[in-house]
Chains A and B, each alone.
Chain A
């Protein structure tokens, strides 16, 4: 009996913060956990891929061109006799790096602009919001192509282009969130206490606006990976001999009838990563912000 009582006290003392509670509800969704597993798997590959790859990214053996999958070359070889399995492993690092950095960049820029527009309002809001509207008026891939055309085709410029086209999405999301939170009584209370605007913005409004950004960020990584692959496919992203998945698709396109494996494996990799991030994003959305579900 006393043991039970002391157990209850311990349970009472345990503090469940907002993050722990979110994890608890995230754990309940099998799909979300599956997504998390895929994402973790690819992240691990991105880190250790080049170490475990049986061949180098650019080891060309021209006598071994377009070999079907075999014990030596699990995913077959491409038109230059390069091992596709190794290139897919290398590609994970490129795609995830582009996805994460582009989204991080656009989330930071978008959050900054969105917070300023939402909190200060008036003409600042008008200017920032109109710029977002203009950017959103273009189809995003077209805008990305335009940006890359200006900067010149390279993986880094593709990353910048993807970051830029995602800024308005984050900006609008944060702006509307800030408009909502600004009205909350704890923000009025913060002002009544005598807090400076900067402190209210960074300590109160920003942390409370972050949940939709995390959700949107996870989903945006999936889109960014596709966009990077698309730019690579169009010859506007990664340049040869980089083992970028989209670029690999583009290169293998010509031999598709004779050597489908050269296209199928990078394609499956793109698909799996994107599904992983989407499932995880959906799970996060349900866990962090049940109201966003529609």
Chain B
């Protein structure tokens, strides 16, 4: 295995709920609750889950766009949670982000050239001419042309804008890119183009990705390993093949069985989940999934399971595998 680039330990992000006249804290939304994982250099770690499961918050908390409540984030040997705001700002050069909505993530009043040049200016990289050259170079790398540089975001299609978003993330030569649902706002035909572009860039530029998505097919296409999140917790973490071939956690099994199979004759067993996702401000006791799990036992209601490696490269947080 290659080197660990990012190590997240017991990361928690609780958002306080304030009520009443004096804005007293009356509870917490546990958006991310005790999540640990590692990201190896050069790989793509996919994170999937329903909306509201904390996957985006995990991404933003790693970049300290929202401050973590607890836990450690070790990037390339530095603990990000210890850094001052100014040091954190500087290290963002190494960790960049691609956003979900290409319509909202580009400043509508700036030309593409200005948008792409800004990361270089902010981190004091190169002089004017060098920066311009690099902007043109990266425009081509992401499949746009030089004459696009003088245009404004609203003159582009969603897919083109997302290419600009990716180019912006690449400008400072980062090591890690956190892609927060980068293709979910795009048409299916464009999704594949952008995904292939990201794959190509990863090979060419030796990038490491954390790829956040809710679409299991998309994640399978791009990820080496996949983590499944439910209500702020990581319930399963495995290599892509292992997870898709033999999912262990009942939640993952349900998610995978919900993926449509393009075969009208197919009569498979669908595992349907009943009930809604519980409120993260008042999560169920024990295993948070026990309210919807068809295999739940008394133990599941009492004790929260830890994420354990059941077989090489496959970890799951479920009591069903306690004796393995």
A residues lining the B interface (CB < 8 Å):
13, 15-18, 184-186, 188-196, 199, 203-204, 207-208
Contact = CB atoms under 8 A, between A and B. Distances in A.
A191 B122 CA distance: 11
Nearest to A188: B65
Contacts of A17: 152
Given A18-B152, A193-B119, A185 B105 contact: yes
A184 B108 CA distance: 11
Nearest to A9: B147
Contacts of B90: 194
A86 to B, nearest CB: 45
B58 interface: no
Interface stretch (B37-45, B94-102, B258-266): B94-102
Contacts of B303: none
- Pick the 4 closest A-B CB pairs, nearest first: A194-B92, A185-B104, A185-B105, A192-B97
Contacts of B100: 185
Contact of A192 (B96, B107, B111, B151): B96
A108 to B, nearest CB: 20
Contacts of B91: 194
A21 to B, nearest CB: 9
B290 interface: no
Contacts of A194: 89-93, 119, 122-123, 172
Contacts of B99: 185, 188-189
A190 B96 CA distance: 11
A16 B107 CA distance: 15
Interface string B65-108: 10000000000000000000000011111001101110011111
Contacts of A199: 122
Interface string B197-232: 000000000000000000000000000000000000
Contacts of B101: 185
Contacts of B150: 15
A192 to B, nearest CB: 4
Contacts of A204: 107
Given A194-B93, A196-B89, A184 B109 contact: no
Interface string B103-134: 01111110100000011001100000000000
B194 interface: no
A182 to B, nearest CB: 13
B168 interface: yes
Given A194-B92, A195-B122, A186 B104 contact: yes
A207 B114 CA distance: 14
A18 B151 CA distance: 11
B63 interface: yes
Q: Which of A13, A190, A199 has the most CB of B within 10 A?
A: A190
B147 A208 contact: no
A207 B105 CA distance: 16
22 contacts: A15-B151, A15-B155, A16-B152, A18-B108, A18-B109, A185-B100, A185-B104, A186-B104, A186-B107, A188-B60, A189-B99, A189-B105, A189-B106, A189-B168, A192-B63, A193-B122, A193-B172, A194-B90, A194-B172, A195-B89, A195-B118, A207-B109
Contacts of A15: 111, 150-152, 155
A186 B106 CA distance: 5
B79 to A, nearest CB: 18
A184 B118 contact: no
B42 to A, nearest CB: 22
A5 to B, nearest CB: 16
A208 B106 CA distance: 12
Given A184-B104, A193-B168, A203-B118, 20 more contacts: A13-B147, A15-B111, A15-B151, A16-B152, A16-B155, A18-B152, A185-B99, A185-B101, A185-B104, A185-B105, A188-B65, A190-B107, A190-B118, A192-B63, A193-B172, A194-B91, A195-B118, A195-B122, A204-B107, A208-B109
Nearest to B149: A15
A192 B108 contact: no
Given A13-B147, A192-B63, A194-B93, A208 B107 contact: yes
Of listed A15, A18, A193, A207, residue having the most chain B CB within 10 A: A193
A191 B65 CA distance: 7
Contacts of B89: 194-196
A22 B151 CA distance: 16
Nearest to B147: A13
Contacts of B93: 194
A193 B108 CA distance: 17
A124 to B, nearest CB: 16
Contacts of A184: 104
A224 B104 CA distance: 37
A192 B168 CA distance: 11
Contacts of B111: 15
Contacts of A16: 152, 155
Contact of A186 (B65, B105, B152): B105
Nearest to B100: A185
